[in-house]
Amino acid sequence: MKKLQSSLRNMLLVLTGICVIATGILAYVNQLTTGPIAQAKSAALKTAIAQVVSGFDNNPANEVETVTLTLEGKELTFKVYPATKNKQFIGAAVESVTLGFGGDLKVLVGFDPEGNILNYSILETSETPGLGSRAATWFQEGQKGSVIGLSPKEKALTVSKDGGEVQAITASTITSRAFLKAVNQAYMAYAKQETSQTTTQK
């Protein structure tokens, strides 16, 4: 076999071949993992919905509704998962994303028909481990900053440092504000979805 001459043309051909092969391998691996990743996310969402709104007999994840709000000059989209039992509305879970200290903070908040907070789950966070990441438990029932049973209906929830009634996570006021902002926005999306449903039913 004749040895390839070491030239710029030959080197480019070899590099191109390597790139084509590598791209093919990556595409194949991506195709193999896309399905399982999507299934894992779907399962995690269903678990989170059951955590924040319990007792339903429908499949909220399959009945998702999209709500768009204009807040602070930006158009934001929220996913609302309505929960029913015996075809009666018992509440909804709402996805809300805000900017925390370390990046996006995605929260799933459950509301009862009156707009009271049933529970919440942190879906995604980039907050500092040991500090901002404590939002997953800090605002739960029985904890110092519990928001369970509260409602942003009459007044937006804020931390005590801002004159509100919710105690911020120790040394993580920015994360606490971001979390409450996500909850308040989730309620606004929930309220708009409820209004739309009522208008449609009339």
Domain annotation covers residue 102: yes
Domain annotation covers residue 66: yes
What pTM, to 2 d.p., does this model score? 0.77
pLDDT digits (tens, 9 = 90+) for 5-45: 567 777 777 788 888 888 888 777 777 666 666 666 777 88
| Residues near 171 by beta carbon (within 8 Å), at least 6 away in sequence | 131
Domain annotation covers residue 19: no
Q: CA of 167: how far to CAs of 113, 136, 177, in Å?
A: 26, 14, 10
Outline where DSSP puts E strands in the chain. 65-71, 74-85, 88-99, 104-111, 117-124
Domain count, the chain: 1
DSSP run (H or E) holding 49: helix 8-52
| Residues near 147 by beta carbon (within 8 Å), at least 6 away in sequence | 117, 120, 139, 157, 166, 180, 183
How far does the chain reach from its first CA to its final CA, in angstroms?
83
Domain annotation covers residue 125: yes
Domain annotation covers residue 62: yes
For residue 150, the enclosing domain spans: 52-201
Domain annotation covers residue 72: yes
pLDDT digits (tens, 9 = 90+) for 69-112: 999 899 999 999 999 999 999 999 999 999 888 788 999 999 99
